[in-house]
Structure 1
Amino acid sequence: MLPHKTKQFFFVLIKLSIVVAAFYFIYHKLVNNNELSFYDFKENIIKNDAFSPKIIIFLILLSSFNWFFEILKWQNLVSTQEKTSFKQATNQTLGSLTASLITPNRIGEYGAKAMYFTKNLRKRIMLVNLIGNLQQMSVTVVLGIIGLYFFVSKYNLDLNYYRLSKYTTIGFVLICLIIFILRKTKFIFKGFSIEKLKMFILNFQKTNLSIGFLLSFLRYAIFSFQFYFLLQCFHVEIDYFNSMIGITSMYLLASIIPTIFIFDVVIKGSVAVYLFSFLGVNELIILCVITIMWLLNFVLPSIIGSFFVLRFKMPKTIINS
């Protein structure tokens, strides 16, 4: 057994490593972006004279509301398992964002959030986090499908519909096959059978689920409007409707592509450049908008979250008398 002080030292070292790794990847992404160099990014902003102090404050305010609703959603969902204050929810949400920044598809968020709770609650906390992510994904998919329908109807996309339908059919058959196998077998993951997982979701408080969907929609409305507002800052002459069908289509396509989260900006950039080329928007402007969105909605809260990571303490186990 290691001495208590040695354990404390290693615990502090782990927290510092998480923060340093997050900052390094953010720096690396900004400086070594193959699609948009930091020099081009800076020069394009200066050339377009896009940002006055009032605009910067408004953009930060939009990002603040984006994360305010995400924190509120987490507090609403997790309070079904343990009473959680808004301050605690803020700590858990932003701290786990920093810890998961460099993990594929933010998978590290599940474990990071669970660490804020006692051992007997951690499995359920991971399931609550899954529900929250599924809610946000559902909003993205539903609005994205509507947007993509209008986009395809209005613009002549160069799509191979035979290949698209073939892969869609294969994907659908595979999903049905997986569901069938899981239903017929007693599959257990981390102590949770599929049946228990299904019952956990079905028995989840309906009021909390409804509030979660509402907050997910509000978040989506805010960051999609923020994207549109940034286009206006770069003097892009495009109306709100056409912007939204491009934005919703972009978030749909980008969300279904597996990626390491730190490179999420690259994936969204590639998809956005392709889609907005049909709307006549300059590639450099789109890449700048994507980068600014990433800085405002992930880098900035991650920097704040690093403070919570450094202050993190393992929860004390409650012993029933």
Structure 2
Amino acid sequence: MHALFHNALHIALSYKTKQFFFILIKLSIVVGAFYFIYNKLANNSGLHFSEFIATLKENNVFSLKSITFLLFLSTFNWFLEILKWQKLTSFIKNITFYHALKQSLSSLTASLLTPNRIGEYGAKAIYFTKQYRKRILLLNLIGNVMQMAVTVIFGAIGLFLFTRYYPIEINTYRVTKLLVIILTVLGLLLFVIKQKRYTIKGFSVEKLKQFIKALPLNISVFTFMISVLRYFVFSFQFYFLLQIFAVELNYIDAMVIITSMYLLASVIPSVFILDVVVKGSVAVYLFSFAEVNEIIILCIITIMWLFNFVLPSLLGSYYVLNFNFEKQK
């Protein structure tokens, strides 16, 4: 009897300990995200917070009409992302729009502090039972690759036109060296892919190819089309902000620079919280060719970051804190 009581007490304590550590992890994610957001706004060497607020007031960005439309575009952007995730997961398990929303926003909060949003993969997978997790990782990868493909397609067109519009001095030797490195890496990747014994996240390359082939065409097409639509929404949001700041650029000229900016910013690895710094540096350089004020561009990048990442991640922190691992299982 004493032994049974002792075992029961041990199980209860170990359960309580697990619960305590799980709560600690959830709080760490949320507190860490809040701190980094605050730190980015308060200690931005390129754009002081007081200067940011003064520029917004000067350009009447705080008008109800502007804020409402910016919120609408950000909401629509995330609505499309959630819809895309719901469609992708339907390949293995049907989930409601609300569950897709919860998974998308909480994974954004969890990924805020990780390089290139790596944390998003694990955060989404934890919402599913063990049998689904590897496939959820792959579906998330497919969704991100589709979005990246859209960025590369439009970015390549934009960058080609940008080099035609603006006089950029290109170092032929450096470009050739870069192309040789890229071709070498691609060659190695092709070699690795042909090795059937090679695995990615526990999947052999052969199984990975079979998984992608098994994905229904309607899901692939839907995911790609939603990715295109999302790209146009946040690109237009950037253009709308240029108009608010009275930047004299027509839509086509602005899009040439915006698409080039998204392409170049995407290929530079960065911690997601520093994404705003990377995009800011690239944007300032590219828009300098169109003689757009540096402060205006840094303000626009910061506003885009606040509306499209900070606000959703604050909402996502609610779902992170309320996540129950036992209930989820």
TM tier, smaller: over 0.9
State yes or no: 1:262 paired with 2:253: no
In structure 2, what is the equivalent of residue 8 of structure 1?
Answer: 19
Distance in 2 between residues matched to 1:303 and 1:197, nearest whole Å? 34
Q: Contact (CA 8 Å) 1:51, 1:233: kept in 2 or not?
A: no
Q: Residue 234 of structure 2: which of 212, 217, 223 is its match? A: 223
Matches within 5 A, 1:33-52: 33-52=44-63
Q: Do 1:119 and 1:317's aligned partners in 2 also have CA atoms closer than 8 Å?
A: no
Code of the residue aligned with 1:82 in structure 2: it is K
Residue 76 in structure 1 maps to residue 87 in structure 2: yes
Deviation at 1:6, TM superposition (A): 2.4
Aligned residue number for residue 107 of structure 2: 96
| 1:178 positional shift | 2.4
Aligned to 1:213: 224
2:7 maps to: none
| Alpha-carbon displacement from aligned partner over 1:270-300 (angstroms, at most 9, x marks no partner) | 0000100111100000000000000000000
Letter aligned with residue 222 of structure 1: V
Q: Note the C-alpha offset of 1:185.
A: 5.2
Distance in 1 between residues matched to 2:14 and 2:301, nearest whole Å: 48
Q: 1:317–1:282: structure 2 CA closer, same or farther, 3 Å change rule?
A: closer
Report what 2:40 is aligned to: 29
8 Å CA contact retained: 1:118, 1:316: no
Asked whether the equivalents of residues 118 and 315 of structure 1 are also in contact (C-alpha less than 8 Å), the reply is no
Question: In the alignment, residue 176 of structure 2 is paired with which amino acid?
Answer: S
The equivalent position to 2:141 in structure 1, one of 130, 136, 149, is 130
Letter in 2 for 1:181: V
Q: Deviations along 1:194-229, whole A, 9 cap, x unmatched?
A: 111111112111100100001101100000000000
Deviation at 1:177, TM superposition (A): 1.8
Q: Which amino acid aligns with 1:252?
A: L
Native 8 Å contact 1:224 1:244 kept in 2: yes
Q: Determine whether 1:306 maps to 2:317.
A: yes
Deviates more, 1:213-222 or 1:39-48: 39-48
- Cα separation, 2, equivalents of 1:189 and 1:129: 14
Question: Which of structure 1's runs of 4+ aligned residues deviate more than 4 A?
Answer: 315-318
Distance 2:14 2:326 in 1: 19
CA distance in 1, matches of 2:62, 2:156: 32
Is 2:80–2:230's contact at 8 Å kept on the other side of the alignment?
yes
User: Matched residues in 2 for 1:185 and 1:4: separation?
Assistant: 42
1:282 to 281, 285, 293: 293
Contact 1:59 1:226 in 2 (8 A): yes
| Residues 39-83 of structure 1 deviation map (CA, whole Å, 9 limit, x = unaligned) | 111111112223311110110010000000000000000111111
Distance 1:184 1:307 in 2: 44
Question: Which of 288, 307, 317 is the equivalent residue of 1:296?
Answer: 307
Matched-pair contact (CA < 8 Å) for 2:196–2:206? no
- Out of 49, 59, 70, the residue aligned to residue 59 of structure 1 is 70
Q: Counterparts of 2:24 and 2:283 in 1: how far apart (Å)?
A: 39
Q: TM-score, normalised by structure 1?
A: 0.96
Match of 1:164 among 147, 162, 175: 175
Matched residue pairs, number? Answer: 318
Counterpart residue number, 1:180: 191
Paired residue type of 2:262: Y
Letter in 2 for 1:208: I
Unmatched tracts of structure 1, length 5 or more: none
Structure 2 residue ranges without an equivalent (≥5): 1-10
Paired AA for residue 81 in structure 1: I
Question: What amino acid is the match of 1:260?
Answer: V
Query: RMSD across aligned C-alpha pairs, in angstroms?
Result: 1.3
CA contact (8 A) 1:103 1:260 kept: yes
Q: Which has the larger radius of gyration?
A: 2
Aligned mates of 1:4, 1:312 — CA distance in 2? 16
1:179 CA displacement: 1.6
Cα shift at 1:20: 0.5
